[in-house]
Structure 1
Amino acid sequence: MGSAGVPVVVGLDNGGTSNNATVLTVDGRFLVDGLVETPSEVQAGPEAAIEALARALDGVLALTGVPRELVRAVGLDTPGPASATGVISSRGSTNFSQPAWRGYDVRGALERRLGLPVIYHNDGNAAALYAHHVHFGTDAMNRSSVAAIVGTGLGGGVVEGGRVVTGAAGMAGEFGHVHIPLDGLLAPGQPVPICACGFSGDAESVASLTAIERNLLPYWLGRYPGHPLAAEEPRRAAKLVRGYGERGDPLARQVFTQQAMALGRLFTIAANFTDPDAYFVGGGVVEAAPEFRDWFLATVREHTVLRAEQAAVATFALVPDRDMAGARGVAIAALEALRATPEPSPLVAG
C-alpha cells in the first residue's frame, strides 16, 4: 500500500479509549482509507499512553508497508485543555484524570520516545484543519475558516491562511467558553444554562452533550410529560436524544434547535472577529441521518447573522470523515511544518 521510497508523515489521534493513526505522503496522499485503531491506555497513566502511541505508529506503518526510516515527522492531537506545545493543563482533563497527567508534556515525551519531530494540536483544532484543507483543496492556504465541534464539550478551531491560529497560550479557538446572547434562545422559564467550567451562558452550556444532560433535557422533559426519555438515566437519555431527533420527535427537535441557535450566535461573533470564508460544524451531528444533519446545518446558518457582503461569499459545511478528521488534521499540520519557510524579518526595527 505504501509508495516506494516516498517520505511520509504520520498522524496520531489520541482519545480516551483508542488511538487512531494515518499516514500522509509528502506529496499529499493519504495511504489509509479508514480507522486504524489501537487501545490508547490513557487511564493507565502517561508512560503507558506514550508506549501505546508508539505502538500505534508502528502498527500503521506495518499496515501501509512504509519503512520507519521514511517517516519525517509525526502529528499528535489529544483532547484539551492543553497548551499550544502539548502540555496538558495543570488541572488535568476528563481523559487525563490521574495526577501524573497534570502539567505533563505529552508532545515532548512522544518526541523523545520516537526520536522524530512531533507537531501538536488539540483535537478540535486538528478536525478544523482537516475540514479546511478538504473543503478548499489547492486553495486552502489562501482561505480562512472557523469550526465548532460538538461533543461531550464544545471544541473548535480558527484557521487562517491554511494554518491553525493557536494564540499566545494555545487557547485560541476555545469556542465552547465564548459567552453568547441568550435572549430569544431560551424558552419561557428556562433556567440560564451553566457550563461544566463554571461559566453561565457560554456556548458549551447549550451546544454539547453535557449541556443536553444537565441543562436542556431536564427543562424540556418538564414540558413533555410522559416522554419515554423521562424513564432513562440522565446520561443515557442525553445520548438517546439524537436518535429521537432523527425521527422528528418534537422534544428532541426543540433541544437541537436550541443547540443550532447557539452555534449560529457563536458564528455571528466569529464573523465579526475573523470574517472567515467558511463555517464548519462537526461532532456527532455529522454521523446523523442525512435529513437531520442537513436540517441542523440549515438551522445553524439561519441563526448566523452575516452582513450581505459576508453572506454572498460564506460557506457552511459539515466536517467530513469525523472519526478520521483528528489524525488526518495533525498529519496535515506535520506536513505543513516540514514545508514551512523561515519567518519573515521584521519590517520595523525594535
Structure 2
Amino acid sequence: MDGATVPVVVGIDNGGTSNNTTVLTLDGRFLVDELVETPSEVQAGPEAAVAAMARAFDGVLTRAGVPRESVRAVGLDTPGPASATGVISSKGSTNFSQPAWRGYDVRGALERRLGLPVVYHNDGNAAALYAHHVHFGTDAMQRSSVAAIVGTGLGGGVVENGRVVSGAAGMAGELGHVQIPLTTVLAPEQPVPTCACGFVGDVESVASLTAIGRNLLPYWLTRFPGHPLAAEPPARAAKLVRGYGERGDELAREIFAQQARALGALFTITANFTDPHAYFVGGGVVETAPEFRDWFLTAVREHTALRAEQAALATFALVPERDMAGARGVALAALEAARDLPAPPPLVGD
C-alpha cells in the first residue's frame, strides 16, 4: 500500500532472532498487512543489534512505499526486564546475555541512530496494548484490560484507559512473577514448581514453555509411564506437548489444564486488584487448532473467580495476530506520542 504523502509512525518488535516491523498512519491505518521479519542480531551485541533495527526500519518503509521524511516517531519493544525508558536490566536477560547489554539504553541508542523520537515498551506490554485497542476500538480510551502472553516465559500487560500501566521502574505488568495460590492448580503430591527467577509458585513456574520442561512434564510422565514423550530429549519433549494437546492426548491435556488453572488464579487476583473490562490470553498456547484454543480459553474463564457484577461486564478473548501484535502495539504507542494531544482520540478506528 502506497503511503508516500501520509505522515506515519513505525513499530519495531525486537526479539531473540528477528525484528518484526510495521508502519501506521497518523489516522490509524496500518500500511503493512503481513509479518515483516529481518534478523535482529542481538547475540552479536548492542551495536550490531541497533544497526539491525535501523535496517529493519529502512526496509519496512521501502515495503510500505513511505519516504523517511514522513516518519514522526518510532515505537520499540524488546523482551524484558527493562526500565520504563528502555534501559536493559543490570542483570541482563535471556535475550540480552552478553555483559555489554547490562544496563544498556537500547531506546536511547536507537533514537540517536535514527534521529527520531523513540517510544519504548516491553514486548508483553506492546502485545497487550494492541489486543486492547483492537478489541475495544473506538471505546478503547475508556476501557481497561489485562493480558497474559504464554511463551518461553510468561509476559503480559495492564492497560488502563487505553494506556499501558508501566509503573515507577517500568516493571508493572510483570504478570509471570505474580505468586498464586496453588491449591487448585497442582495435583496431589505434585512438587511445588519453581521459576528460573528464583520465585516459588509464581504463574510462570506453571504457565510457560519453560515450566512444561522444568516442572510439569517430569511430574506427569511419572503418572503416564510408557508415554512416547518419555523417549524424547527433555527440551524437545516440552515443545512437542502442544501438538499432543491438540490431538487430545490425556497427559498433554492435564498439563494445559494446569496452565489454564494458573492463569485463572492470576486473573482472579487481577479481578480484585484492577477489575478490568477484558482478560486476554496470547502466545503459543493459543496459537493452535480452534478446538484446542477454545477449550483452553474456556478453562481459563471457568477458573477465574469473578463476582456477579464483574462477570456481567468482563470478556475473555485471544490476543489477535500474535506475531504482529508487538510491532503494532508499539506503533500505537508511538502514534499517541506523535499526536501529543491532552485527551487522545481512539488509536484504532472502525
- TM-score of the alignment, normalized to the shorter chain, above 0.5: yes
Map of 1:189-204 to 2, 5 A cutoff? 189-204=189-204
* 2:204 is equivalent to residue 227 of structure 1: no
* 2:9 is equivalent to residue 9 of structure 1: yes
- Residues 184, 261 of structure 2: 8 Å contact kept: no
Cα distance in 1 between the residues matched to 2:185 and 2:316: 21
Q: Which has the higher contact order (CA 8 A, sep 6+)?
A: 2
State the one-letter code of the partner of 2:69: E
Query: Which residue in 2 is equivalent to 1:109?
Result: 109
Question: Structure 1 length as normaliser, TM-score?
Answer: 0.97
Query: Which residue in 1 is equivalent to 2:316?
Result: 316
Residue 189 of structure 1 deviates from its aligned partner by 1.0
State the one-letter code of the partner of 1:19: N
Cα distance in 2 between the residues matched to 1:244 and 1:129: 31
Cα distance in 2 between the residues matched to 1:205 and 1:137: 34
Partner SS state of residue 95, structure 1: coil
Q: Which runs of 5+ in 2 are unaligned?
A: 344-350
Query: Which residue in 2 is equivalent to 1:214?
Result: 214
Residue 342 of structure 1 deviates from its aligned partner by 4.8
Cα distance in 2 between the residues matched to 1:163 and 1:234: 40
Cα distance in 2 between the residues matched to 1:141 and 1:281: 20
Cα RMSD after superposing both structures: 0.8
Partner SS state of residue 272, structure 2: helix
State the one-letter code of the partner of 2:179: H
State the one-letter code of the partner of 1:111: E
Query: How many residues are paired up?
Result: 343
State the one-letter code of the partner of 1:279: Y
Query: Which residue in 2 is equivalent to 1:162?
Result: 162
Query: Which residue in 1 is equivalent to 2:93?
Result: 93
Residue 117 of structure 1 deviates from its aligned partner by 0.2
Residue 287 of structure 1 deviates from its aligned partner by 1.4
Report sequence identity in percent: 85
Query: Which residue in 1 is equivalent to 2:119?
Result: 119
* 2:24 is equivalent to residue 24 of structure 1: yes
Residue 7 of structure 1 deviates from its aligned partner by 0.1
Query: Which residue in 2 is equivalent to 1:54?
Result: 54
- Residues 265, 303 of structure 2: 8 Å contact kept: yes
Residue 294 of structure 1 deviates from its aligned partner by 0.3
State the one-letter code of the partner of 1:242: R
State the one-letter code of the partner of 2:33: D
Cα distance in 2 between the residues matched to 1:37 and 1:155: 21
Cα distance in 1 between the residues matched to 2:260 and 2:84: 29
Query: Which residue in 2 is equivalent to 1:135?
Result: 135
Map of 1:226-305 to 2, 5 A cutoff? 226-305=226-305
Cα distance in 2 between the residues matched to 1:135 and 1:340: 23
Please list the CA deviations of residues 274-323 of structure 1 after superposition, one character each: whole Å capped at 9, or x if unmatched: 00000000000231000000000000000000000000010000000010
Partner SS state of residue 57, structure 2: helix
Please list the CA deviations of residues 175-199 of structure 1 after superposition, one character each: whole Å capped at 9, or x if unmatched: 0110100012111110000000010
State the one-letter code of the partner of 2:95: N
